[in-house]
Structure 1
């Protein structure tokens, strides 16, 4: 068998050397940044070692030198995205607007990194930025007039609701374009063709249902959370 040309062999050797060097020089920060880049491209497999190896130009198993497993990496990446949310919230807002800003930032970051938000809808990072989010929400409900169990319950109501809402929106982006198109056309197709005698309320509201946007629904749900906190605060003040 003939040998490859010298320049080809040298190129291959250099390429292998670069891969080895990048593998040995990886840092947790580099791996987190690579995961975020993959997630920002809308990929559902941002946390597979194969994809990370390709993104980093390194042996995929090098990831395990810095993270115990993919779940530990996910939690670190998710906490980083919470930092992005917090950075988007202006100073000096009242408690209602802090919750609105948190909701807006959470949705924006979830749509930017759908694989992260969808995976974290029912998880907790147990890391610094999550603690900051919890502190922000507790501060808001306390400023509203809640304390003790009421503050804890309403903090959970806000936190869990936002996780679920943005997780739902993020997961939707990971569906195929065909699946999303079929769902989005349902209000103008299947729902307009239902039997009006069997489904009179759907028939009556068909036009309005088709015109509702996801953002309108999201905003209404956030306002409902704020209203629930305000109502409970009024009750605790004796209905004044």
Structure 2
């Protein structure tokens, strides 16, 4: 694609495509997401999209400047799929847990797209809504602004990092994925205690643990750390060395 995007008011195609559908940004994004899932990054070409939509490839320029612009729209749609289902309860820790697990699950449902989008900043409507939502949860819980931003940063980066890592595993060919899973049972679980005492002692737990994503446990660790930090900023610290303790009912001096 090139820098020929049509202004918003002129985008809608007035005639149906060969397949009888009217093009829209949402239809193109959904089609791109499906093609990425089926064929990987190579699917994101105007020729393949046009063929799948039954439209002339040039019609896509009405909606997106280039394939990277379309990829950012795909990234924003993945965020939107989480936000459209999320229902906050007002309990900050539960809400962040729910939101994180939903985000991770939505990326795992589209591993090929996750690999292409987890590191991107879209600057689009759903991403902006997500930033506002998470910061609102944290500020509403009582985190000072600097702490709210710091926790937001860690929470989002952790979620996206695990989403990309787990997506990379899901995107492996079936044989390679089975070989990786089998290595824990076939190699690590059989190491002798004489040479590898710690692996041998924990082998059953290790095999079970490494067969699933570490994200839920990592999320709980971050939430626990955030809870502790919130308690610290809410509680006054000890008086500085040399300071006199206040006497109830008396002023200074």
Name the structure where helix makes up a greater proportion of residues.
1
Deviation, 1:21, is 5.4
Deviation by residue 1:80-134 (Cα, 9 ceiling, x = unmatched): 1211101221243411111111112112211222222222222111111111111
Give the TM-score of the pair, scaled to structure 2: 0.77
2:212 counterpart (206, 211, 214) = 214
Distance (whole Å) between structure 2 residues aligned to residue 196 and residue 43 of structure 1: 45
Say yes or no: does 1:177 pair with 2:174. Answer: yes
Structure 1 residues 178 and 49: CA distance shift in structure 2, 3 A: farther
CA deviations on 1:144-185 (whole Å, 9 max, x unpaired) are 321122111111011111111112222222111111111111
Alignment-derived partner of residue 241 in structure 2 = none
Structure 1: which 5+ runs fail to align?
Answer: 1-17
TM-score, length-scaled by structure 1:
0.81
1:218 CA drift (Å) = 1.9
Q: 1:108 to 1:63 in 2, by over 3 A?
A: same
The aligned runs of 1:115-134 (5 Å cut-off) are: 115-134=112-131
Q: 2 CA distance for matches of 1:160 and 1:197?
A: 40
C-alpha distance in 1 between matches for 2:38 and 2:87: 28
Asked if 1:101 corresponds to 2:98, the answer is yes
Q: Is the CA contact (8 Å cut-off) linking 1:42 and 1:174 kept in structure 2?
A: no
What's the offset of the Cα at 1:237? 2.1
Which SS does the other structure have where 1:89 is aligned?
coil
Aligned length: 221
Cα distance in 1 for partners of 2:187, 2:57 equals 46
Residue 154 of structure 2 corresponds to 157
In the TM superposition, what is the alpha-carbon distance from 1:20 to its structure 2 partner? 7.5
- Structure 2 unaligned residues grouped into runs of 5+: 1-14, 238-253
